[in-house]
Amino acid sequence: MPKLAQNLIWIVIGVFGAACLGGIALHRGETINALWFIAAAFGIYAVAYRLYAGWIVTRVLVADPSRATPALRINDGRDYVPTHRWITFGHHFAAIAGAGPLVGPTLAAQFGYLPGTLWLLTGAVIGGCVQDMVVLWASTRRDGRTLGQMARDELGPVAGGAALVGTLLIMVLIVAVLGLVVVNAMKHSPWGTFTVAMTIPIAILVGIYMRSIRPGRVLEGSLIGLALLLLATVGGGWVAHDPVLGPMFNFDGPALALMVIGYGFFAAIMPVWLLLAPRDYISTFIKIGAILLLAFAVVILRPELHMPALTQFTDGTGPVVAGGLYPFLFITIACGAVSGFHALISAGTTPKLIMSEKDLRLVGYGSMAMESFVGVMALIAACVLDPGVYFAINSSAGIVGATLETATATITSWGFPVTAEHMQELATAMGETTLLARTGGAPSLAVGMAQIFAGAFGQNLLALWYHFAIMFEALFILTAVDAGTRVGRFMLQDLLGNIWRPLGDTKARGPAIVCSALFVASWGYFLYIGVIDPYGGINILWPLFGISNQMLAAMALAIATTIIVKKGKAAYAWVTGLPMAFLAVTTTYAAWLKLFDPNPRIGFLAGANALEGKLAAGSLSGKALESAPQLIFNQRLDAGLTVFFIIVLWVMIIEMARISLRHVQGQTVPALSEAPYVDVASLPQPTGAGGH
């Protein structure tokens, strides 16, 4: 096709995407159709992938298909395996897409549909996709080195140490906040708790099958697990309604938190083949299947979004996450727009599979665009709900009141009409006793998904779809809890091994148990405090997680910027430098507000002081009185953690600026640690099959 015609097609796609986005932004009717969002997202991702990513790959990274990747050069058949680009894409997408792009956009729907949509699209194409692709390129050029190793090699030991400690703390917060999401989804839900509990014996059964009965038959084992899980989801309804069995699976938040903590510890010390790996296989299939099903259902059903474009909560008074649109939108939606954690995957397994540098764009940029699309789908599912219902599910009892009547009256007074009868009917239709104050995002997402699925495939199975959605979310959240605890244990052993060498031995049983217990205690503490927090916990933990994740993204972009400058491409340093600067400033401002804002719902210190005042005045009673000292301590600990994150971030940025400046001025800097060029033509040709 002539170049002119090709360019014309891309111009048409770009204009189409921009027109759809313009339509979304300017629309002021009562509802808006979901197809506008799908069309805008496709148009923008396609043009950004073709033009912006293409330009970065050619001009900034100077990706060279003739340069042999580590998969081709080392090709040991285990870690380094030249793999077809679509298979690498599948691996990478399955690794980066977790609960984050589902939960963040659901919580951010409190601002209306517009801010979240704009940030998901622009944040991804300018920030998140660029970060993932450039870090993947940098790691591929360095034989698959990790982010921490690249920080140490390119910026020096100070930055390397900051990256290591920062990553460890992020792991703690990620596991805690994901644990909180799953606890809030199971709280007083016998059906949900039974289904989620059954994932453990099912995973163990599949683990035994894949190890001893049919070793390595991953597809067979996963299909058996999938069938059993669907049976467990159906069986959950029967258990929940049974007068004897139902109460056995009815727990409050603190009891469930202790169970998740205990589970996390045992899962971490069990052999990988028994629980973690089979659960991951099953959850990956369900995750991808459910996302495809949701996309299909949205296209078939074309639901109307009932949430307004903007709500009054852009002013910072939001009941779901406290704080104004800027900066809190940008830390509420991390995964789906920009997620620093992805840099750990892009500089880990994936670069060891890349067969050619021409695959970097599809795997790095394309996978993140796909995850951003998952975020858009989650936002659609949340905004399909009546706003009154959305706020009733996602607002904590501490804000709207503990009874159906007071909660619905408060939400109605905000201009989002909802009745106690409607909430009760909805809960009954979903097979639950109540949907009130089910904070954390998972239940409202499940209600939204259930309504979309039921609309597309039949209205009779609402309760089943709801619990299928809860099971789907809980399954991969618990996989992340298992996997996060295991990786956190390795990181802790790596650190503590410097103090006492035997603790660093990852093969020895004793140190593994001690470090697993220490790591589980760390995230377990934040989880438990989150559960007993009268404001729902998510109000504190999610922003802290968002700050830490965006801090990691800014750090990854700082490393990438340094490498671009040291490659002699300082003129293009803005490609990673601009998103880094935006994230650094936004995260620092958010951290400042979390520390010093006088509103007790926003500022950690103000929150601690306000609670201390109530305690001194004797105005607390019951559970609030019991938990107050812990909550006061925790708010101050969170403040300390926030300060630490910001110090780590700015250490990295100052090091980036120092090294880049020295390089530009011709002074000595750590040498580029790129592996030497080897021509592809000098190596035996690979088959292109994937080994993983």
- Tell the smallest beta-carbon distance from residue 272 to another protein (Å): 5
- Which of 16, 296, 457, 490 touches another protein by CB under 8 A? 490
By beta-carbon proximity to another protein, the closer residue of 198 and 483 is 483
83 binds another protein, rule: CB under 8 A:
yes
66 binds another protein, rule: CB under 8 A:
no
266 binds another protein, rule: CB under 8 A:
no
By beta-carbon proximity to another protein, the closer residue of 191 and 281 is 281
Residue 62 to residues 56, 348, 557, 577, Cα–Cα distance (Å): 8, 21, 18, 18
Looking only at residues 89 through 148 of this chain, which bind another protein when binding is defined by CB under 8 A?
A: 90-91, 94-100, 146
**How big is the CA angle at 439 (ends 438 and 440), to the nearest 5 degrees?**
125
DSSP conformation letters of 619-664: ---HHHHHHHHHHHHHHHHHHHHHHHHHHHHHHHHHHHHHHHHHHH
- Tell the smallest beta-carbon distance from residue 98 to another protein (Å): 5
686 binds another protein, rule: CB under 8 A:
no
- Which of 14, 348, 534, 670 touches another protein by CB under 8 A? 348
By beta-carbon proximity to another protein, the closer residue of 64 and 79 is 79
Determine whether 507 is exposed, middle or buried from the number of CB atoms within 10 Å of its CB (0-12, 13-18, 19+). Answer: exposed
CA distance 597 to 543: 14
- Which of 7, 55, 86, 241 touches another protein by CB under 8 A? 86
Q: CB under 8 Å to 585, separation ≥6 — which residues? A: none
By beta-carbon proximity to another protein, the closer residue of 100 and 448 is 100
x/- binding map, residues 437-466, to another protein, per CB under 8 A?
Answer: ------------------------------
**Sole window of 10-18, 72-80, 121-129, 423-431 interacting with another protein (rule: CB under 8 A):** 72-80
By beta-carbon proximity to another protein, the closer residue of 571 and 683 is 683
CA distance 639 to 603: 9
Residue identified by tokens 């809960």 is 427
Query: Binding residues for another protein, how many (CB under 8 A)?
Result: 59
216 binds another protein, rule: CB under 8 A:
yes
The two tokens of residue 350 are 């994936």
- The dihedral formed by the CA atoms of 263, 267, 273 and 275, expressed in degrees to the nearest 10: 10
- Which of 8, 55, 58, 217 touches another protein by CB under 8 A? 217
381 binds another protein, rule: CB under 8 A:
no
**Sole window of 152-160, 385-393, 460-468, 475-483 interacting with another protein (rule: CB under 8 A):** 475-483
Looking only at residues 145 through 174 of this chain, which bind another protein when binding is defined by CB under 8 A?
A: 146, 174
CA distance 457 to 104: 27
Looking only at residues 536 through 555 of this chain, which bind another protein when binding is defined by CB under 8 A?
A: 545, 549
Q: CB under 8 Å to 215, separation ≥6 — which residues? A: none
By beta-carbon proximity to another protein, the closer residue of 17 and 98 is 98
Task: Return the number of other C-beta atoms located less than 10 Å from residue 662's C-beta.
Answer: 15
CA distance 620 to 611: 9
By beta-carbon proximity to another protein, the closer residue of 74 and 97 is 97
Looking only at residues 563 through 592 of this chain, which bind another protein when binding is defined by CB under 8 A?
A: none
The two tokens of residue 528 are 């438990």
- Tell the smallest beta-carbon distance from residue 342 to another protein (Å): 6
CA distance 109 to 325: 11
Looking only at residues 270 through 299 of this chain, which bind another protein when binding is defined by CB under 8 A?
A: 272-273, 276-277, 280-281, 284-285
By beta-carbon proximity to another protein, the closer residue of 352 and 438 is 352
**How big is the CA angle at 379 (ends 529 and 230), to the nearest 5 degrees?**
75
Task: Return the number of other C-beta atoms located less than 10 Å from residue 419's C-beta.
Answer: 16
Q: CB under 8 Å to 639, separation ≥6 — which residues? A: 594, 595, 604, 605, 608
CA distance 390 to 175: 25
Question: For residues 363 and 90, is the Cβ–Cβ distance under 8 A?
Answer: no
By beta-carbon proximity to another protein, the closer residue of 146 and 395 is 146
CA distance 140 to 70: 7
By beta-carbon proximity to another protein, the closer residue of 549 and 562 is 549
Residues that bind another protein (CB under 8 A): 77-79, 81, 83-84, 86-87, 90-91, 94-100, 146, 174, 178, 210-212, 215-219, 222, 272-273, 276-277, 280-281, 284-285, 335, 339, 341-342, 344-345, 348-349, 479-480, 483-484, 486-487, 490, 506, 545, 549, 689-692
